[in-house]
């Protein structure tokens, strides 16, 4: 097919608009990254655009030496790793029975789970419930908030439903229990969906903010997100750091440097796993959207 | 005849019961596997629903959920009579509805544009930029946006000041704060939400385009008459889902972007519940507020779904 003149104009405009959009998506990152790597003078005089001015890593040094960012980072890792493993185990064990046609009560259980997506107790009753279970100020509360996310569970279930019934029958004839069938036959064939949903949980736990604000009262147990939020909002942290460095390092840092460095420490791990993540999530979202 | 059918019915019932018993017995291993899920949803999702009753009680720590005195609708009466709570409810609706109106068409537009890109490498690369912001925490996105639009240290003001000698307090004026709030939401979710429409677009048979091209339809005409109608079901589905979310403008976004100066437009139900519930221990009042929010959003979903059903596009 020949492209007409108007079509060529259309394609040109299309590429320009889309590229512009991509630039808008990227620019804020470049700006924040260069702020975190620029000097105090450049930051306070508003010289920083999308390249570092008077390059230095003082903000990062100050963050790691003068704040609790390292313990908070380790807390985040702990919350994320344990949470993701628990959630994946329970979601798979919920999804497999629900994917089986002859499972007793299948429709009822499914409805009861979907109902919780539409209606729930809300913040305060959930908090009171956690408190009566003694989970306040423990990561247990965070792991129980979203142990089985219905949306993620449905994605896994839809994938399991596509498995040929003969496969399961054959495993049964060979004497596999349900658990063995799931573990040895179904799961190895479901890697794409497991990685997708695993990533969704991973990001959810890594980005968890409200839950930590509500349930964690001991500041030593704060995760990275809550700490970075403090860095962004409390200027006295910067004053404290500057007083500290006044004696030892003789460099000054500005609030912009600290907040942007904090943001970068949140973002860098996500950028690192992003290429890996991207391979899978498009497919995962599609499965969820068609069946959910 | 009559007794015959009665006997038949009874036999069918018996068969059905026997069938169910067999089904249950065979399902026992699966039920055992499903047990953690049952326990989880009962203990952490359904039991808190019982706690909603404190919206109708005056909650005292000593008495707990079950023994605090009943007060009927007093908490709700207070919510609907106090200026502050009414403003909070209004803000929730305004930000929610604006959010849906402004951020709903963008992903559709992005999907339509991407659908016309023929260079695969370009498409994949650029798409990955569009999806990236979705995976960031609101603390990060809120921090980036409040930083960029800040009065003295923000880059936007630095640029306009250098060029035109002009500065504006974007975060401290109600109208512009709402604009910044909405653009942050579009920046974070606009690209990612396009995935679902892109998925729907892959199902459009290419013969349709060829036929239209032979009939002399231009590019824009083809988009309007072929591409757009083919994703209408997806658009309606997404509209239903979004209507349900009108009331739940995420806590994280508001909490990380709001400030005291624009308190009048930025306080929403979820942040209010957090502050007066957990901050000041007013459990009954905040639960009533939360319940109000849940009921309204459930109603919105049900209404949208029943409208969609009339056009045969209901979710259930």
C-beta atoms of A178 and B155 within 8 A: no
Confirm if B55 and B77 have CB atoms less than 8 A apart. Answer: no
Asked if A93's CB is within 8 angstroms of B45's CB, the reply is no
pLDDT digits (tens, 9 = 90+) for B133-183: 999 999 999 999 999 999 888 889 988 998 998 889 999 999 999 999 999
B131 contact residues in A (CB cutoff 8 A): 278, 281
pTM surpassing 0.80? yes
Inter-chain contacts counted by CB atoms under 8 A, chains A and B: 258
Q: Nearest chain A Cα to B41, which residue?
A: A113
For the domain made up of B76-310, give the CATH fold: MetI-like fold (1.10.3720)
Q: How far apart are CA A160 and CA A94, in angstroms?
A: 11
Q: How many whole angstroms separate alpha carbon A27 and alpha carbon A20?
A: 10
pLDDT per residue as tens digits for the range A218-275: 999 999 999 999 998 877 777 777 777 655 555 678 888 889 999 999 999 988 888 8
- Contact list in A for residue B118 (CB cut-off 8 A) is 11
The shortest C-alpha distance from B8 to chain A (Å) reads 25
**Residues B109-125: tens digit of each pLDDT:** 999 999 988 888 999 89
Mark yes or no for CB contact A126/B44 under 8 Å.
yes
CA pair distance B81, B220, nearest whole angstrom = 52
Residue labelled with tokens 């009108």? B246
Higher pLDDT, A11 or A286: A11
Chain A environment of B51 (Cβ under 8 Å): 121, 124-126, 128-129
Q: Tell whether the model's pLDDT for residue B312 goes beyond 70.
A: no
* Contact with chain A for residue B212, Cβ under 8 A: no
Structural element, H or E, at residue B19: helix B2-41
Spell B67-87 as b/e; 16+ CB within 10 A means b.
ebeebeeebbeebeeeeebee
How far A166 CA sits from the closest chain B CA (Å)?
A: 17
What is the Cα–Cα distance from B242 to B300, expressed in whole angstroms? 10
**pLDDT tens per residue across span B217-227:** 777 788 888 88
- Phi, psi torsion values for B70, nearest 5 degrees: -70, 140
pLDDT of residue B211 exceeding 90? no
Q: Which ipTM was obtained for this model? A: 0.90
DSSP-assigned letter for residue B133 = G
**Per-residue pLDDT band at A46 (split at 50, 70, 90):** confident
From CA B104, how far away is CA B114, in angstroms rounded?
Answer: 17
Domain boundaries, chain B: 2-56, 76-310
Considering the segment(s) A57-292 as one domain, its CATH architecture is: Orthogonal Bundle (1.10)
Element housing A191 (H / E): helix A191-206
Residues B151 and A239 sit within 8 Å (Cβ to Cβ): no
> In sequence order, what are the residues at sequence separation of 6 or more whose Cβ sits closer than 8 angstroms to the Cβ of residue B232?
B313
For chain A, what are the domain ranges?
A: 1-56, 57-292
Interchain contact, A125 vs B244, CB within 8 Å: no
């Amino acid at each position: 097919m020949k492209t007409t003149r108007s079509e060529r104009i259309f394609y040109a405009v299309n590429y320009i608009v889309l590229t512009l959009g991509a630039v808008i998506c990227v620019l804020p990152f470049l700006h924040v990254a260069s702020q975190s790597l620029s000097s105090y003078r450049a930051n306070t005089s508003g010289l920083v655009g999308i390249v570092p001015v008077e390059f230095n890593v003082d903000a990062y040094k100050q963050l790691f030496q003068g704040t609790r960012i390292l313990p908070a980072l380790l807390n985040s890792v702990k919350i994320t790793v344990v949470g993701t493993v628990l959630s994946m185990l329970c979601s798979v064990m919920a999804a497999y029975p629900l994917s089986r046609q002859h499972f007793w009560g299948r429709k009822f259980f499914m409805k009861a789970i979907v109902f919780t997506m539409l209606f729930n107790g809300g913040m305060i009753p959930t908090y009171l419930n956690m408190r009566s279970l003694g989970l306040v100020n423990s990561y247990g509360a965070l792991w129980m908030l979203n142990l089985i996310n219905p949306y993620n569970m449905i994605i896994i279930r839809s994938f399991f439903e596509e498995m040929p019934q003969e496969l399961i029958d054959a495993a049964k004839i060979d004497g596999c229990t349900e658990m063995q069938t799931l573990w040895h036959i179904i799961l190895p064939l479901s890697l794409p969906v497991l990685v997708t949903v695993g990533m969704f949980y991973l990001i959810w736990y890594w980005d968890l903010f409200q839950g930590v604000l509500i349930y964690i009262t001991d500041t030593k147990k704060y995760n990275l997100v809550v700490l970075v939020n403090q860095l962004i909002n409390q200027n006295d942290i910067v004053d404290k750091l500057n007083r500290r460095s006044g004696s030892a390092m003789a460099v000054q840092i500005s609030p912009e440097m600290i907040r942007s460095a904090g943001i970068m420490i949140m973002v860098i791990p996500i950028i690192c796993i992003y290429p890996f993540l991207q391979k899978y999530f498009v497919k995962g979202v599609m499965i969820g959207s068609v069946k959910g | 005849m009559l007794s015959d059918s009665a006997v038949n019915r009874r036999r069918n019932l018996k068969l059905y019961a026997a069938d169910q018993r067999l089904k249950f017995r065979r399902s026992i291993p699966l039920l055992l596997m499903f047990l953690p899920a049952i326990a989880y949803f009962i203990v952490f999702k359904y039991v808190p629903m019982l706690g909603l009753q404190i919206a109708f009680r005056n909650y005292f720590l000593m008495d707990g959920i079950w023994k605090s005195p009943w007060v009927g609708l007093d908490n709700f009466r207070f919510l609907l009579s106090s200026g502050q709570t009414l403003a909070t409810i209004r803000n929730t609706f305004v930000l929610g509805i604006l959010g849906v109106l402004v951020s709903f068409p963008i992903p559709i537009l992005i999907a339509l544009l991407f659908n016309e890109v023929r260079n695969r490498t370009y498409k994949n690369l650029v798409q990955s930029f569009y999806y990236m912001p979705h995976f960031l925490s609101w603390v990060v996105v809120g921090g980036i946006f409040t930083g960029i639009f800040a009065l003295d240290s923000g880059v936007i003001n630095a640029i306009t000041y250098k060029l035109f000698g002009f500065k504006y307090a974007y975060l401290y004026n109600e109208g512009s704060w709402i604009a910044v709030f909405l653009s942050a939401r579009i920046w974070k979710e606009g690209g990612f939400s396009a995935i679902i429409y892109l998925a729907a677009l892959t199902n459009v048979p290419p013969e349709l385009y060829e036929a239209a091209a032979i009939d002399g339809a231009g590019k824009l005409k083809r988009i309007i008459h072929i591409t757009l109608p083919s994703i209408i079901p997806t658009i309606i589905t997404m509209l239903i889902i979004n209507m349900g979310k009108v009331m739940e403008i995420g806590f994280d976004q508001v909490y990380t972007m709001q400030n005291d100066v624009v308190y009048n437009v930025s306080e929403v139900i979820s942040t209010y519940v957090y502050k007066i519930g957990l901050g000041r221990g007013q459990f009954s009042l905040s639960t009533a507020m939360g319940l109000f929010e849940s009921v309204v959003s459930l109603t919105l979903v049900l209404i949208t779904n029943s409208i969609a059903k009339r056009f045969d596009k209901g979710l259930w």
